[in-house]
Amino acid sequence: MVLFDSHAHYDDKRFDEDRDDVIGALPGFGVAYVLNAASELKSSQRSLDYSQKYSHVYASAGIHPHEAIKARDGFEAALESFFGNEKVVAVGEMGLDYHYDFSPRDVQRDVFIKQLELAKKLKKPIIVHNREAHRDTLDIVKPYAGALGGGVFHCFSGGVEIAREVLEMGFYLSFGGAVTFKNARRAVEVIEYMPIDRLLLETDCPYMTPEPHRGKRNDSSKIILVAKKIAEIKKITLDETAAITTDNAKKLYNIF
């Protein structure tokens, strides 16, 4: 069984004491691929560093909406420089977060659009963060959808109608540990509705730890629990779920 964790954050400080041990052990758990999603420029550099150290790790480069307020004029050139390395495979994570509003919403939107312009220029896939900002996120992304190298709405939290719009734009939807929670009715409905060839697995570690480990630090070894839940929802085998979702992620990120 080969699993692909399409969204992780190993540069988080919660991995400072055992990062190398955790990442190095992942192939032994069947996790053959990990995408370390960046949140700002230093995080983009760390993601690139991990991708150079570990054959199973790939990187993105981007500015998270929480960090948008810190983005300096001309940050796009700094981001673009990361894409000289073949293991930097996506722009992001980028998007809007109206739950925390750590950055003013107009700044979030501006930084989001600038990254979309960069992804359009580079023909790279995007990783979209969208929390309590469905309509603004869709309205901003839609004009770019056909000009990008694809994309994924990570940790998808919308309902079936929002999912339909995202899928119609040609994007993937990604699900993590939240799908195992008892109150995950909306996610279950979306997974039942959508075709599995547009679905990715993720952990968003160290966050969103699946049951029965909720409340503890998450890591990619626990993605098997997400895969098992999605297999149950889609009424297919665990092996099929792993194979299809891994193939989906490899296609999105152009990993061959």
Q: Could you report the per-residue pLDDT of 241-250, keeping only the tens digit for each?
A: 999 999 999 9
Rounded (10°) CA dihedral 44, 50, 56, 60? 0
Is the residue at 42 inside a domain? yes
- What's the confidence (pLDDT) of residue 219? 98
Q: How confident is the model at residue 35 (pLDDT cuts 50, 70, 90)?
A: very high
- What's the confidence (pLDDT) of residue 243? 98
- What's the confidence (pLDDT) of residue 133? 98
Is the residue at 187 inside a domain? no
Stretch 82-110: mean pLDDT: 98
* Gyration radius of the chain's alpha carbons: 17
Is the residue at 197 inside a domain? no
- What's the confidence (pLDDT) of residue 131? 97
**Boundaries of domain holding 23:** 3-174
Which of 180, 129, 136 lies closest to 157, judged by CA?
A: 129
Q: How confident is the model at residue 186 (pLDDT cuts 50, 70, 90)?
A: very high
Stretch 196-208: mean pLDDT: 98
Q: What is the pTM of this model?
A: 0.97
Q: Are 34 and 246 in contact (CB under 8 A)?
A: no
The domain tally of the chain equals 1
Query: How many other CB atoms sit within 10 Å of the CB of residue 248?
Result: 21
Is the residue at 244 inside a domain? no
- What's the confidence (pLDDT) of residue 209? 98
Q: How confident is the model at residue 142 (pLDDT cuts 50, 70, 90)?
A: very high
Query: For every residue of the chain, which 3-state class applies, written as one string?
Result: CCEEEEEECCCCHHHCCCHHHHHHHHHHHCEEEEEECCCCHHHHHHHHHHHHHCCCEEEEECCCHHHHHHCCCCHHHHHHHHCCCCCEEEEEEEEEECCCCCCCHHHHHHHHHHHHHHHHHHCCCEEEEEECCHHHHHHHHHHHHHHCCCEEECCCCCCHHHHHHHHHCCCEEEECHHHHCCCCHHHHHHHHHCCHHHEEECCCCCCCCCCCCCCCCCCHHHHHHHHHHHHHHHCCCHHHHHHHHHHHHHHHCCCC
Is the residue at 245 inside a domain? no
What average pLDDT is seen over the chain? 98
Is the residue at 199 inside a domain? no
Read off the CATH number of the domain in which 117 is found. Answer: 3.20.20.140
Is the residue at 138 inside a domain? yes
